[in-house]
Amino acid sequence: MAKRMPNWLKKNYNNLWKKYEKEVFTTENVADSLNISNNMATKTLWQLENKGFVHKTRSELDYRNKIYRLISPEDVSYVIGLYSLIEKEEVRRLTLEDKLILLNEKIPYALTGSKAAYRYHHYVNPPNVYEIKIRSEDEGKLIAFLTDGYTRVYLNDILETKSAKYYVKLIHSTIKFDNLIHKS
């Protein structure tokens, strides 16, 4: 399964969840909480981020500093359930568009921005940034499900200086999704 975690990482995730739950924290907080070195704290956060179990943003006071927030165990369990619907050999071959199609009936969302315009008009190839409007309660599920080795998911601005194949910008929507019709 794509979201399998080594035991040491599960233990660290559980300890961090007990301490912080949905509160924000820094690398230094992780090192202190888990009684590990800053290098190991960075590795732990990097592993959790790559698996989609933590969300990273920049500090508003000092843009060089990163702030982290854990994805809830309920959202992680939901994503593991989604992955269980997919055959094991197919998981590695899922593209971002395949994942969005799988989510289509499970979590309401709306594709917006240049990717939506391209899908409608087929005019001028857009950048590989997907803007997706979501309900705020589905944020953790989408971060955990869409994040993989090729895709980075963000709530605000794109943070990465390292390149990724796809970037997904999640936007909290104020409209009700019951009124939207999905077209794949």
Sequence ranges of the domains in the chain: 1-70, 92-184
From first to last of its 184 residues, what are the pLDDT tens digits of the chain? 356 788 999 999 999 999 999 899 999 999 999 999 999 999 999 999 888 899 888 777 777 788 999 999 999 899 888 888 887 667 777 888 888 888 887 888 988 888 888 777 877 777 778 899 999 899 999 999 998 888 888 886 666 656 788 888 898 887 776 655 554 4
Cα distance between the two ends of the chain: 26
**Is pTM, for the whole model, over 0.85?**
no
Domain topology for 1-70 = Arc Repressor Mutant, subunit A (1.10.10)
Rounded CA-CA distance 41/21 in Å is 17
Cα separation values, 26 from 38, 43, 69, 70, Å: 11, 13, 9, 11
Q: Where are the alpha helices (DSSP H) in the chain?
A: 7-20, 27-34, 38-51, 73-84, 88-91, 96-103, 113-121, 139-146
